[in-house]
């Protein structure tokens, strides 16, 4: 007769135990020869050494499943206790295509042609630059790749950043400390993380700086090693800012840049560093540049029509501007 403890590191006990401890009771009922006492995030197990060893092996599979999926059901527990991880994954779809599982257990995977290219190129490149219209899943896919890398211990931390540039508005004075002032600019990044990481775990990651979310200005002077770094809204980074960001790359780091060059909010659109980076870095080995288009839009169906309408408008404006500057189309020519 021995006694051992199992700690639920990084796991929310409420999810594992289930409503009214239904899942916990199902797990413990499979081991009638040992006594299991659950207190918060610690299991105390008392009984025969061999039975405890089997219990530990089964619990490791259950905790791994919960770690990957952020959710577990009674059916999942039954399959894990009986068959293990591989059989359970086969019942829940093709694990190979899944980047991460959302908090509802929904698999998050590449859904469009360029999202799939994005995921494939990620495997062979340390820097990826993705640009294209709103709603194409550029940032969401990037953060899913980052969360997967962190879960698989390929990196030690995730760093998410974006320029703190207002979209055509002047918000004036914002109350609070530095973080509270900047959070509104970074909210889309928080939204994506909340879809993929349980709230308690996300709070812990942010508190211990495993996940860092900061404005671009805070990147200066840093060397980012063993990190997955995502820069969002890169069209609003100036030439010097983007160069500064790119030169932060350290050992064992992945950098992803996302942006939309049709939505530059800088006072002078020519100051956007993203446009120049796309031109300058296109031929460098180890860098992948991927252009998304309206076929990749995964938001409301109207978003695709809206993007198309604005593209047509921009094209007409460009054509008209060109026409006015063509030889023979100026006031002097007409006067003659």
* Average pLDDT value over all residues in the chain: 82
Q: What is the mean pLDDT of residues 168-186?
A: 58
The rounded distance, in Å, linking the Cα atoms of 250 and 24 is 44
Grade residue 127 by pLDDT with cuts at 50, 70 and 90.
very high
pLDDT of residue 90: 45
Cα separation, 199 vs 14, in Å, equals 12
The pLDDT tens digits of the residues spanning 260-308 come to 998 898 888 899 999 999 999 999 999 999 999 888 887 777 877 887 7
Q: How confident is the model at residue 310 (pLDDT cuts 50, 70, 90)?
A: confident
pLDDT digits 0-9 by tens, 47-61: 888 888 888 888 888
pLDDT in tens, 80-123: 887 665 544 444 445 668 898 888 778 888 988 899 999 999 99
- What average pLDDT does range 227-250 have in this prediction? 94
326 CB-near residues (< 8 Å, 6+ apart): none
Collapse the DSSP code of 32 into the 3-class scheme (helix H, G, I; strand E, B; otherwise coil) and give the result. coil
CA 300 to each of CA 135, 222, 293, 307: distance values in angstroms, whole numbers, following the listed order: 9, 39, 15, 12
Sign of CA dihedral 96, 144, 292, 300: positive
Domain with CATH 3.40.50.300 in the chain: 99-317
- Angle at which helices 178-196 and 138-151 pack, to 10 degrees? 80
- The residues of the chain that CATH labels 3.30.1370.10 are 2-92
CATH superfamily, domain 2-92, is K Homology domain, type 1 (3.30.1370.10)
Q: Of residues 286 and 32, which shows the higher confidence score?
A: 286
* Beta strands 127-131 and 287-291, pairing class: parallel
DSSP 79-141: HHHHT-HHHHHHHT--GGGEEEE-TTS-EEE--SHHHHHHHHHHTT-SEEEEE--TTS-HHHH
pLDDT given for residue 107 in this prediction? 85
- Which distant-in-sequence residues (6+ apart) come within 8 Å of 187 by Cβ? none
What pLDDT was estimated at residue 41?
83
Between CA 212 and CA 9 the distance in angstroms is 20
Q: What percent of the chain has pLDDT over 90?
A: 33
CATH topology of domain 99-317: Rossmann fold (3.40.50)
Interval 199-213 mean pLDDT: 90
Give residue 311's pLDDT band: very low, low, confident or very high (50, 70, 90).
Answer: confident
Identify the pLDDT of residue 280: 94
User: In the prediction, which pLDDT does 165 show?
Assistant: 64
pLDDT band at 331 (very low <50, low <70, confident <90, very high): very low
pLDDT at residue number 199: 86
Helix or strand or coil: residue 43?
A: strand
């Amino acid at each position: 007769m021995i006694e051992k403890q199992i700690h639920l590191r990084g796991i929310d006990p409420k999810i594992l135990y289930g409503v009214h401890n239904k899942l916990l009771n199902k797990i413990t009922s499979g081991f009638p020869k040992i006594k299991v006492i659950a207190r918060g995030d610690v299991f105390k197990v008392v009984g025969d050494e061999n039975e405890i060893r089997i219990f530990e092996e089964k619990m490791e599979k259950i905790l791994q499943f919960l770690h990957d999926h952020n959710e577990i059901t009674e059916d999942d527990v039954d399959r894990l206790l009986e068959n293990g991880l591989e059989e359970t994954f086969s019942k829940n779809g093709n694990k190979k295509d899944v980047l991460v599982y959302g908090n509802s257990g929904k698999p998050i995977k590449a859904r469009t042609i360029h999202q799939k290219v994005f995921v494939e190129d990620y495997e062979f490149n340390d820097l990826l630059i993705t640009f294209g219209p709103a709603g194409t899943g550029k940032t969401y896919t990037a953060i899913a790749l980052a969360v997967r890398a962190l879960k698989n211990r390929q990196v030690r931390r995730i760093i998410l950043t974006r320029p703190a540039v207002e979209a055509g508005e002047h918000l004036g004075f914002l109350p609070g400390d530095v973080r509270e002032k900047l959070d509104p600019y970074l909210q889309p990044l928080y939204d994506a993380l909340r879809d993929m990481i349980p709230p308690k775990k996300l709070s812990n990651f942010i508190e211990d700086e495993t996940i860092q979310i900061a404005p671009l200005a805070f990147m200066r002077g840093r060397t980012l090693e063993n990190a997955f770094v995502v820069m969002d809204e890169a069209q609003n980074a100036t030439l010097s800012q983007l160069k500064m960001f790119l030169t932060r790359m350290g050992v064992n780091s992945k950098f992803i840049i996302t942006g939309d060059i049709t939505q530059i909010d800088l006072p002078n659109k020519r100051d956007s560093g993203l446009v120049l980076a796309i031109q300058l870095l296109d031929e460098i080995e180890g860098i992948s540049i991927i252009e998304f288009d309206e076929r990749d839009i995964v938001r409301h169906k109207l978003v695709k029509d809206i993007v198309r309408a604005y593209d047509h408008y921009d094209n007409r404006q460009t054509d008209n501007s060109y026409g006015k500057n063509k030889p023979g189309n100026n006031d002097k020519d007409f006067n003659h």
